[in-house]
Structure formats: structure tokens, C-alpha cells
Amino acid sequence: MTAPVGGPGAVGAGGAGGAGGAGGPGSRAATGGERPPQARHVQQELAGMPVRLYPATPTRLLTWLDCPRRYRFAYLDRPMPPKGPPWAHNSVGAAVHSALADWWALPFAQRTPRAGMAAVRRRWLTEGFRDEAQSAAARERAVTWVGEYLGCVDPGAEPVGVERTVSTPTRTLVLSGRVDRIDARGDTLAIVDYKTGRHEPDEADARSSLALAVYAVAARRTLRRPCSRVELHHLPTGTVAAADHTPEGLERKIAEAESIGADAARADAAYARGEAFGSRADAVFPPITSPACSWCDWRRHCPEGQAAAPEIEPWAGLSPR
């Protein structure tokens, strides 16, 4: 699945925020402290040696793009700064994804909508809800979504992959990710991504998604079949937002991933050399504030993010449908 970045339905980031200063609340975590962690081995590149490809997932690249400080918390600082409380909408999403994967693992004759509904109840997670009643109401909504969705799915259309990891090298990256479902459509493949958030995606969302384009290219490489179609299946509304990429469109997306990856790799290297700590932390990993700061798992460590967007309840992202 493509992990949500910046909360349910939130895309992109707003304007750049101010540089974090030392001494404010949470400033140690925000700046990564005054000293680098234990010395790290930094691989040197020798003349004539092949350049090492930078391994990345779409989620990692988009986290860097949205907010370098959040990227640092998520991928570099170890131990990882403690996250905020779990989100109820993430519990819903995880349960629905697990249930649908379980459903496809059933023998054909058992793939009924009722079996999918039972799987949601079995896979339910209770983290992030206000109370038991809210959790139960959300669970029954999700049960209904899955039942109605599976009523429109052909159980005999065996997917090529479910929760399948795919990868591909590019000129500078090794891109990988796990796809919710890969369907065979004639001789070609289609990427299927389940969505459970409040936002009902449209064709523009499917077409502009970096993650879906990367999955299409990686599925083509991994499974050795053409793949240009990407689909967002929104469970709360039962709608499908689809886009068919051209080869040129996919190439542009890969170039976009390479551009983001080059910036992230430079920041990773600076971090490994100990050049992104203390007063230099925000030059390499600046906070980028936006309304998405309300949804950031590390806002408690980020004074700029706290100032930019209000704190919200862990269940604020639940779909009302």
C-alpha cells in the first residue's frame, strides 16, 4: 500500500517554514542534538568504480519531498524519536488491507463477500479510537465497505500478486515497494491500490501519483509483462480512479523520483559524515510546515510544526461514510 503522507487525503506540502532554533521546546529532537551519533562508516567512491544506486521506496522519497525534518526522524535518527499516538484511520486502513489480502488467499469457492466481511472483523485493530463504541462503529462501516466492494469483484480473476514487492533499478536508484494488488488485464498488468480515507480520489490523483507510477515500472520489470495502468480503489465510496500512463509519462515519473532521490542521498551522506547536527541540522533537514503538520507523527519534537498547524484528535481522519 502506499502509505499516507501528511494525513488522510492530504497531499503535498505548503510553504517552507522557518529554521528551527536551538533551545525551544523539543529542540534537541528537532535539531538532532549537538553531536553526531557514533561515527558512521561513509563509503568512498573511487574513480572508475560503478556509482552505487540509492535504494528508495516511493514513501521515503515523498517523505523527503514533503518535509526533510520528518524524513530525518523517520529514516535516519536512531533510536527513532518517539511518535505521537496511533491514528484510528491507520487502524482502519491496515485492517481493510489485511482482510482483502486474506480474502484473495482463500480457495476460490470461499471467496464470498461474507468471508471478506468476517475477515475485517477478525483483523480489526483498536488503536487510535476515542472509545470502544467509536471503534465498533468504524469497524461495521469497514465491514460494509468490504462486503459491497467484494460484491463487485470477480473472485475468479486471480491476481498476479497480492501485497507483492516489486523493484526496479533506474539510472541512479533502486526503487521498490509493496503493491496491494497486481491484476492481469489481458496481456498487461494493472496496479491496484486500496484507499480507505476521507478523500475520494479521482483520475488526476491516480495519474499524478509517484508511487503508482513507480509500482507500474517496477511490476513491469519484476514480472516481465507490460504495465501502464494504475487504479485507486476507494472502499468507502466503491469508486475506482484509473489512469493509463504512456511510456513517456512513466519516464517522467522515474526522472522525478531520481531528482528527489539525488537530494535525499546528498542529505543522507551529510548526515553520515556528521555534517547535519547542531546548528547545521536545519540547513540539511529543514522543516517544511503546512496543514499536514497536524498529521505528523513527530510534531511533538517540532516547534515549527506545532506553531503551523493545530493538534488534532487521533480519530480525526476517520471516514464519516
Q: Which residues bind ligand SF4 (CB under 6 A)?
A: 17, 67, 69-70, 287-289, 292-293, 296, 298-299, 302, 304-305
For ligand SF4, the closer of residues 56 and 302 by Cβ is 302
For ligand SF4, the closer of residues 206 and 292 by Cβ is 292
Q: Greatest CA span in the chain, whole angstroms?
A: 64
Task: Please state the closest distance from residue 66 (CB atom) to ligand SF4, in A.
Answer: 7
Residue of closest CB approach to ligand SF4: 305
Task: Please state the closest distance from residue 63 (CB atom) to ligand SF4, in A.
Answer: 9
The string of DSSP codes covering 171-211 is: SSEEEEEEEEEEEEETTEEEEEEEE-SSS---HHHHHH-HH
For ligand SF4, the closer of residues 15 and 48 by Cβ is 15
**CA of 2: how far to CAs of 74, 132, 232, 311, in Å?**
16, 28, 10, 24
For ligand SF4, the closer of residues 14 and 159 by Cβ is 14
Task: Please state the closest distance from residue 72 (CB atom) to ligand SF4, in A.
Answer: 8
For ligand SF4, the closer of residues 1 and 308 by Cβ is 308
Task: Please state the closest distance from residue 178 (CB atom) to ligand SF4, in A.
Answer: 24
- Show the cell assigned to 265: 542521498
Instruction: List own/partner pairs for 163-168 with CB under 8 A and 24 or more apart.
Output: 163/97, 163/101, 164/219, 166/215, 166/218, 166/219, 166/221, 166/222, 166/223, 167/218, 167/221, 167/222, 168/214, 168/217, 168/218, 168/220, 168/221, 168/222
What b/e readout covers 156-188, taking b as 16+ CB neighbours within 10 angstroms? eeebbbbbbebbbebebbbbbbebbbbbeeeee
Task: Please state the closest distance from residue 289 (CB atom) to ligand SF4, in A.
Answer: 5
Task: Please state the closest distance from residue 59 (CB atom) to ligand SF4, in A.
Answer: 14
For ligand SF4, the closer of residues 227 and 293 by Cβ is 293
| Cis before 226 (ω within 30) | no
Q: Which residues contact 50 (CB under 8 A, 6 or more apart)?
A: none
For ligand SF4, the closer of residues 230 and 293 by Cβ is 293
Cβ-contact 172, 254 below 8 angstroms: no
Task: Please state the closest distance from residue 13 (CB atom) to ligand SF4, in A.
Answer: 7
Task: Please state the closest distance from residue 194 (CB atom) to ligand SF4, in A.
Answer: 25
For ligand SF4, the closer of residues 158 and 311 by Cβ is 311
72 vs 30: CA distance, rounded Å: 9
Q: Which residues contact 152 (CB under 8 A, 6 or more apart)?
A: 238
